[in-house]
Structure 1
Amino acid sequence: MEALLATAFAPTRLVVSNDSAQHHGHSGDDGSGESHFSVLIESAAFTGKGRLERQRMVNKALGDIPGTRVHALAVKAVAPGESA
């Protein structure tokens, strides 16, 4: 995920967190330890874009990862100067 997002957005900040352990035994936990993730990304590409458009941009950059290989993905996408 990090490589795909770095290539697509040239972020000034990128944090990908694996939250799967917090969801062990819950719906969507496939036992792989890679089912739930959070992303914090800051990029000039998000300037002037709304929250939903930013989410769509991130999902597009990740291809088939959200929804197939990863059960849940929480995204916080901000432009430089915005609070995360």
Structure 2
Amino acid sequence: MGIIQNIEDQIRSELAPAALEIINESHLHAGHQESFDGTGETHLRIKIVAEAFEGLSRLERHRRINALVAGEMEKGLHAIAIEAKAPSELS
């Protein structure tokens, strides 16, 4: 199982999101380091809407997500961009 699937499973289990999208943006970072060609699952964007974020600050939301993906950082995940919203914030 890959990093993206592991993260998706963890987030769905812990936060029961109403919406979740995990986008692999690794290819956008090719060449940023001489040894990186943009392959793999190293740079991800996580877009999530979850009731669990209601009343939490942006920092608290990011901390919750970071805690869930900490194990994947040890397996090769380098960076995540997080877009976390509560259902009440949708337009």
- The reply to whether TM is greater than 0.5 is yes
After TM superposition, the score normalised by the length of structure 1 is: 0.86
Deviation of 1:24 after TM superposition, in Å, equals 0.8
Poorly superposed stretches of 4+, deviation over 3 Å: 27-32
The unaligned stretches of length 5 or more in structure 2 are 1-6
Task: Tell me, in whole angstroms, the C-alpha distance in 2 between the residues paired with 1:67 and 1:47.
Answer: 30
Q: How does 1:1-84 map to 2 (within 5 A)?
A: 1-27=7-33, 29=36, 32-66=39-73, 69-83=76-90
Task: Tell me, in whole angstroms, the C-alpha distance in 1 between the residues paired with 2:82 and 2:36.
Answer: 19
After TM superposition, the score normalised by the length of structure 2 is: 0.80
Deviation of 1:29 after TM superposition, in Å, equals 3.6
**Which SS does the other structure have where 1:49 is aligned?**
coil
Task: Tell me, in whole angstroms, the C-alpha distance in 2 between the residues paired with 1:65 and 1:77.
Answer: 19
* Alignment size in residue pairs: 84
User: If you compute each CA radius of gyration, which structure gives the higher value, 1 or 2?
Assistant: 2
Change (3 A) 1:54 1:10: same
Percent identity of equivalent pairs: 37
Deviation of 1:81 after TM superposition, in Å, equals 2.3
One-letter amino acid of the structure 1 residue matched with residue 52 of structure 2: A
The unaligned stretches of length 5 or more in structure 1 are none
Deviation of 1:65 after TM superposition, in Å, equals 1.8
